[in-house]
Amino acid sequence: MSAKLKGLLSKPLQEKKYQQILKKIYVTKDRELFQASFKKGENGVYTPKADLTEETVKSLNKIGDAVKKNAGFGVNAGNLILAGVVIGGVLVFSVVFKNPLFAQAIRLGLQSVFHAKADVSGVSVSLLQGRVKISHLAVADEMSPMKNLVELGLVEFNLSTDALLRGKVVIESMRCEEIRWNTDRKTWGGLSASKKKKANSGEKKAESQSGKPLLALPDFSKINAGEIFSNAMSELKSPAVYSNANVTMVETTNRWAARLASAKKSYDDAAKQAETLKKINVSAIKTLQDAQNAYNQINSALPAFQRLKTEADQMSGDFSRDSAAAKKIADEASAALSADQKRLFSSVQVPGGVGKIAGSLANVYLSEKLGAFYTYALQAKKYAFALKGSSAQEKKAPEPQPVRRGGSKVYFPTRDYPAFLLKLMSVSLGEKSSPNFTSVRLSEVTSDPYYTKAPMMLAFTNRTDGVGLEVGAGLDIRTNAAETVSVDFSYGQFSFAFTNGLDTVGIKKLSAAADVATTFALSPAGVCSGVLKVNLSGLALDREETTDLVKTAIAETLLSEPKISLSATYRISSNETLIEIDSSLDEAISRRVGKLVNDLVARAEKELQTLLDRSVGPELSKYAELTRAYQSIEGLVSGRSRDAASYTQMVDQKKKEIENRIAVLKKQGEDQLRDEAKKRLNGGNIRVPGL
Amino acid sequence: MVLKWIIGLFKVLNSNQNPAEIAAALAFGIWLALIPAGNLMWFFLFFLTFFLKVHQGTEMIVLAVFKLIAPLLDGVLHPLGYLTLTFGPLQPFFTWMAAQPVLPLTGFNQTTVMGGFVAGLILFIPLLLLGLFLVKLFRDRLMASIQNSKLYKAFMNIPLVKSIVQAAGTVSRVVPKLS
């Protein structure tokens, strides 16, 4: 036997040990091999048999190894030690490298929220006390990567260890010794090169949009009525309209003159006839024969009078129609003249914006500044949503869940920290009552606004020599929030200067000090609306050399006003900016510039009127003459009509009179006959019944 | 990989590995399969088995196999978990757990997690006993007949299987005839 038994089986085995080994051999064949390989001596000790083959020895050694492995009380001591070493190593690593690890975690966290580089240095963490110190922290501005959005000096904050053990970051309080905004960076603060290009192109676009003129004022000192008139000549319609009207009037007048002439004989005959009939003295007619003759004379003349009346009525109707047509032409001509006058005067009219010059100028500046507010509000909203992530949702009361695959959560009443919560950060430099004071206060900044049930709040004060900036802002990203961002902003004695759009009023540069106050809100739909109030003082102008009276008047008005107040109501969304501005300056400008402009305009209008009159004059005079001629025709026509009517009436009257006279004469004749007959009968004693 | 696991299982069954370790591997494997992964409870149980005398290979095979069918048991695990979580006398305990740090990360308030945990706990002892019985049955009754079966021999003669077996160092005891 070249191979030897090793380990557990290399030594003689006592009875107890032998039984223990036998108990731990679980394969029957192996147990039998083990039993067959050992013999029990007289002293009760088991020793290996001498004739064991090499193969048997190998098998026994493997059995021995397996038995050794099966020893113990159910705990894998080796793995336990290994795990202890690993955990210990991790703990040591964490302790040794906790500061750089925390620095990296803070850096990545800030970068994910602000989408720009964050620089964190001098991080010192005390896990047991839950205290973190950062000697310097700077977050770049995503929109301007060469600027820092905020830069902090020494920052100390206390973390809630309870929340930290639940994997949540809750900052109980935060203290900061120095805070600065919009500081310059030495390195690019964007997170990627593509964004760098985008930011550059955005800047260029902004540059190209600035400086465009927004108000176009005519140069009133250079009004040339003759030039305006000659330029507008081709567009004037009244001369042509009056010329056409005159042609029509001539044609109409001639036509009626001819018609009246042709009817003249009939009227003259009728007049003679009427005169003859008028002379018949009905009361002088004594006999029936004379009456009958007069009656026949009237009857024979009557149809001619009736015909004349019909013709006169016809003529009157025709004339009325022609008169209506002539009136229409007259109206058209008059309207054309008015339109031409209006067109000419419009060339020298004051544009509606003149009275709103201050508003228009302020609009240029405010569009930029309020646009920046809007951008900041959107940016704040974006940061808040980035902080919120997808974890925070409206908390609902736990409800019994139906049986379904995948299961559901059962909620227990407990305090559930949000992933991130900054309860309070307060920085103040200087005494609150002193003229130089800076203070920043951030509260309830959280990844889960439903936890705090309140908006995130920012209060910022920066006062130098008693004046400066004050901001109070609320940021509410809960789905049912009425306003996502609400801001109260005021800036005292804010010095500014601007040039955009001023060249239109003859000013190169305007500078002033302003007290600015605004309250605005950003709705969940992304519409920003608010009211801005500005009080300007110490206005200074850099003026252009100009002869323009209006520009001069505007500039002088600006300088003469000691204080200018301005109120702007604005509404800004992603696709439009609406700003309505009212200013005390507008009234002053309206007063001063308005009078000047009105005088200039009145003078120009007078000149233009003269030119227009000169242009339309001949046709207009002719038209007036024709109108007079036409009006005389109108008199003739109506006279004829009246005559015809009176003739007919007179004949009818005469006819009735004669008829009455005949009746009277008849009655008289009858009465005479009766009296004669009575006499004769009374003489002959003849009685006639009824007499 | 699966083949390697199967061969590894045969090796264990044919070796003098403590049957209790194999039976415990069966019980823990099924327990882990019943609990949805991705929570601290599952990881805790999983790492616990590393510190106990549990045959890891067997546990992995059982876990892998039962993990495939565990989702089919959600219909049972969900109500079981829900009943447990809403069981009145346990409410103070669960409320206390929810208020503690770390413990909520176990996902205990998830019905399928709790259902899987409770089911595994209830089944642990029966599965342990079943495992012991099966190992003993295999070693005493089935091992010899399987080793002598034509199917087994043909399987073990597959070149890939041979190479795996040799790589695993199972030469003399598992397939004595090959060595």
User: How far apart (Å, rounded) are the C-alpha atoms in residues B93 and B81?
Assistant: 15
Q: Do A76 and B51 touch (CB under 8 A)?
A: yes
Per-residue confidence band for B126, with pLDDT thresholds at 50, 70 and 90: very high
Contacts of A33 (CB under 8 A, 6+ apart): A56, A59, A60, A63
Map residue A611 onto helix, strand or coil: helix
| A159 contacts on B by Cβ (under 8 Å) | none
CA-wise closest residue to A131 among A100, A174, A89, A92: A174
Q: Please, are residues A292 and A306 in contact by the beta-carbon 8 Å criterion? A: no
CA-wise closest residue to A267 among A637, A634, A644: A644
Cα-based distances in Å from A513 to A340, A370, A397, A453, A535: 48, 18, 55, 40, 8
Map residue A464 onto helix, strand or coil: strand
Q: What is the mean pLDDT of residues A256-275?
A: 84
Per-residue confidence band for A73, with pLDDT thresholds at 50, 70 and 90: low
Count of alpha carbons within 13 Å of A407, Cβ hemisphere only?
A: 29
Q: What is the DSSP letter of A419?
A: S
User: How far apart (Å, rounded) are the C-alpha atoms in residues A485 and A525?
Assistant: 11
Per-residue confidence band for A105, with pLDDT thresholds at 50, 70 and 90: confident
Chain B, 90 to 129: residues with Cβ < 8 Å from chain A are 91, 94-95, 97-99, 101-102, 104-105, 109-113, 115
Per-residue confidence band for A314, with pLDDT thresholds at 50, 70 and 90: confident
Residues of A with CB under 8 A from a CB of B: 24-28, 30, 58-59, 62-63, 66-67, 69-70, 72, 74-76, 79-80, 83, 162, 165-167, 400-401, 403-415
Per-residue confidence band for B121, with pLDDT thresholds at 50, 70 and 90: very high
Model pLDDT, residue A72:
63
| B48 contacts on A by Cβ (under 8 Å) | none
Model pLDDT, residue A600:
76
CA A250 to chain centre: 59
Candidates A79, A86, A169: best to mutate against B (most CBs of B within 10 A) is A79
The interface predicted TM-score (ipTM) is 0.74
Model pLDDT, residue B89:
92
Q: Which of A545-549, B72-76, B77-81 shows the lowest per-residue confidence on average (mean pLDDT)?
A: A545-549
Q: Please, are residues A596 and A218 in contact by the beta-carbon 8 Å criterion? A: no
User: How far apart (Å, rounded) are the C-alpha atoms in residues A71 and A54?
Assistant: 26
Q: Highest mean pLDDT range out of A239-243, A349-353, A655-659?
A: A655-659
| B101 contacts on A by Cβ (under 8 Å) | 162, 165-166
How big is chain A, counted in residues?
691
Model pLDDT, residue A434:
83
Give the ranges where A393-536 is alpha helix by DSSP (H): 449-452
Q: Please, are residues A140 and A147 in contact by the beta-carbon 8 Å criterion? A: yes
Q: Highest mean pLDDT range out of A132-146, A389-403, A579-593, B21-35?
A: B21-35
Provide the mean pLDDT of chain B.
Answer: 83
Per-residue confidence band for A404, with pLDDT thresholds at 50, 70 and 90: very low
Q: What tens digit of pLDDT does each residue of B22-64 get?
A: 899 999 999 999 998 888 899 999 988 888 888 888 898 899 8
Smallest CA–CA distance, residue A419 to chain B, in Å, is 13
> Measured in Å, how far apart are chain A's first and last C-alpha atoms?
203
Q: What tens digit of pLDDT does each residue of A634-665 get?
A: 888 888 888 888 888 888 888 898 889 888 88
CA B61 to chain centre: 7
Smallest CA–CA distance, residue A6 to chain B, in Å, is 17
Nearest CA in chain B to A23: B18
Per-residue confidence band for A354, with pLDDT thresholds at 50, 70 and 90: low
Contacts of A592 (CB under 8 A, 6+ apart): A553, A556, A557
H/E stretch holding A173: strand A169-176
Q: What is the mean pLDDT of residues A348-363?
A: 63
Model pLDDT, residue A204:
45
Q: Do B104 and A24 touch (CB under 8 A)?
A: no
Q: What tens digit of pLDDT does each residue of A220-230 get?
A: 556 677 777 77
Crossing angle of the two packed helices A584-683 and A357-388, in degrees rounded to 10: 110
Q: What is the mean pLDDT of residues A387-413?
A: 60
Smallest CA–CA distance, residue A412 to chain B, in Å, is 5
**Beta strands in A555-606, from DSSP E residues, in sequence order:** 563-572, 577-583
Provide the mean pLDDT of chain A.
Answer: 80
Map residue A675 onto helix, strand or coil: helix
Q: Residue B168 pLDDT more than 70? A: no
User: How far apart (Å, rounded) are the C-alpha atoms in residues A241 and A362?
Assistant: 47
Model pLDDT, residue A207:
44
Q: What is the mean pLDDT of residues A182-205?
A: 65
Q: Do B95 and A413 touch (CB under 8 A)?
A: yes
CA A32 to chain centre: 97
Model pLDDT, residue B29:
94
Q: Which of B16, B47, B112 sits opposite A407 (nearest CB)?
A: B112
pLDDT: which is higher, A96 or A415: A96
Per-residue confidence band for A401, with pLDDT thresholds at 50, 70 and 90: very low
Model pLDDT, residue A349:
60
CA-wise closest residue to A304 among A662, A684, A647: A647
Model pLDDT, residue B120:
94
Q: Please, are residues B61 and B5 in contact by the beta-carbon 8 Å criterion? A: yes
Number of DSSP helices (H) and strands (E) in chain A, helices first: 13, 17
Classify each residue of A322-338 as buried b or exposed e, where b means 16 or more C-beta atoms within 10 Å of its C-beta: bbeebeebeebbeebbe
Contacts of A265 (CB under 8 A, 6+ apart): none
Model pLDDT, residue A232:
77
Chain B, 24 to 63: residues with Cβ < 8 Å from chain A are 36, 47, 50-54
Smallest CA–CA distance, residue B166 to chain A, in Å, is 17
H/E stretch holding A514: strand A507-522
Q: What is the mean pLDDT of residues B125-153?
A: 85
Q: Do A80 and B51 touch (CB under 8 A)?
A: yes
Q: What is the DSSP letter of B142?
A: I
Residue A126: CB atoms within 10 A of its CB come to 12
Crossing angle of the two packed helices B19-34 and B56-69, in degrees rounded to 10: 30
C-beta pairs of A590-597 under 8 Å, 24+ apart in sequence: A590/A354, A590/A355, A592/A553, A592/A556, A592/A557, A593/A354, A593/A357, A593/A550, A593/A553, A593/A554, A593/A557, A594/A350, A594/A354, A594/A355, A596/A220, A596/A549, A596/A550, A596/A553, A597/A220, A597/A350, A597/A354, A597/A550
Q: Do B109 and A410 touch (CB under 8 A)?
A: yes
Contacts of B50 (CB under 8 A, 6+ apart): A76, A79, A83, B56
H/E stretch holding A507: strand A507-522
CA-wise closest residue to A169 among A423, A393, A412: A423
Model pLDDT, residue B122:
95
Q: Residue A194 pLDDT more than 60? A: no
Model pLDDT, residue A351:
52
**Beta strands in A388-506, from DSSP E residues, in sequence order:** 420-429, 437-446, 456-464, 467-475, 485-498
Q: Please, are residues A130 and A158 in contact by the beta-carbon 8 Å criterion? A: yes
Q: What is the mean pLDDT of residues A367-373?
A: 74
Structure token digits, residue A255:
């036509």
Model pLDDT, residue B123:
94
| A166 contacts on B by Cβ (under 8 Å) | 101-102, 104-105
Q: Please, are residues A518 and A494 in contact by the beta-carbon 8 Å criterion? A: no
Question: How many pairs of residues across A and B have Cβ atoms under 8 Å apart?
Answer: 114
Residue identified by tokens 């001819």 is: A258
Residue identified by tokens 């009157």 is: A316
Model pLDDT, residue B26:
92
User: How far apart (Å, rounded) are the C-alpha atoms in residues A154 and A178?
Assistant: 7
Model pLDDT, residue B133:
93
Number of DSSP helices (H) and strands (E) in chain B, helices first: 10, 0
pLDDT: which is higher, A471 or B7: A471
Q: Residue A361 pLDDT more than 80? A: no
| pTM (2 d.p.) | 0.47
Q: Residue A61 pLDDT more than 80? A: yes
Q: Do A406 and B139 touch (CB under 8 A)?
A: no
Structure token digits, residue A623:
């038209």
CA-wise closest residue to A405 among B87, B111, B119, B109: B111
Nearest CA in chain B to A414: B99
Q: Name beta bridge partners: A427.
A: A440
Per-residue confidence band for A214, with pLDDT thresholds at 50, 70 and 90: very low
CA-wise closest residue to A201 among A139, A149, A138, A145: A145
Nearest CA in chain B to A56: B172
Model pLDDT, residue B116:
93
User: How far apart (Å, rounded) are the C-alpha atoms in residues B24 and B129?
Assistant: 9
